[in-house]
A = this chain, B = another copy of it.
Amino acid sequence: MYSFTEENYLKAIYKLQERQEEAVSTNAIADSLNTRAASVTDMVQKLSGKSLLIYEKYKGVVLTEAGRKVAIGLVRKHRLWETFLVDKLRFTWDEVHELAEQLEHIKSEELVDKLDEFLGFPKHDPHGDPIPQQDGKMLSQALILLEQMPEKAFAIISGVVNHSPVFLQYLQKQNLVLGISVEVLEKNAFDKSMSIRLNAEKEIQVSAEVARNLLMKV
């Protein structure tokens, strides 16, 4: 069984590794965990000793299969708890991240599997991110950014890149929520803002910043 702290390091490394295929630097880990590079060096040496990652001095770290498994288990728990909080307890999707950060460390395979069943084996969490299955597999769903859509195209809002509460609250206010269908009416070449139509009804303007942070399912 791994400590709260060990688990947090594994998840942070997993998330960093997802984007860039190379080894993850100690500084990058320190940044994402709000700690110092010296602390990271200590911890990755410890995790390396447990064969959860491969560490080369001055080169950075790469998770082993065992380490990846632990990290994916945490992501699974995090996203299932978020789904529970929103679907069952009626939290809003911008309130649940911090709570799920705590709940993901509850140790029990049986609990997470029963939660999964209770929720009806959801495929996505309230932010549109895919929920890993028991076997660690994730249904990848080929989402694209709103900014990448051409004029006249249709798609469904299915996730966000930026998870900050302020952004999520903005989306809520504009009714840019999961499942809404969007048609691109016009793309403004000057500032990259877009006119879009929601659910074949309301027409609104979104900035490039927003378009760059909304994930769409075609």
User: Which residues of A line the B interface, CB within 8 A?
Assistant: 85, 88-91, 99, 102-103, 106-108, 110-111, 114-115, 118
Q: Give CA–CA (A108, B91) in the complex, Å.
A: 12
Whether B99 lies near A108 (C-beta < 8 A) is yes
Which of B91, B102, B114 is A90 in contact with, Cβ under 8 Å? B114
CA distance A102 to B103 in the complex (A): 9
* Cβ contact within 8 Å between A91 and B106: no
B115 touches A106 (CB 8 A): no
Q: How far is the CB of A9 from chain B (nearest CB, A)?
A: 19
Residues of B contacting A106 in the complex (Cβ-Cβ under 8 angstroms): 99, 102-103
User: In the complex, which residues of chain B have a beta carbon less than 8 angstroms from the beta carbon of A114?
Assistant: 89-91
Q: Tell me which residues across on chain B come within 8 A of A107, comparing CB atoms.
A: 102
Residues of B within 8 A of A91 (CB): 110, 114
A111 near B90 with CB under 8 A, answer no
Please give me the residue from chain B that is nearest to A91 by CB atom: B114
**Apart from A89-B111, A99-B108, A99-B111: 4 A-B pairs, beta carbons within 8 A:** A89-B114, A90-B114, A91-B114, A102-B106
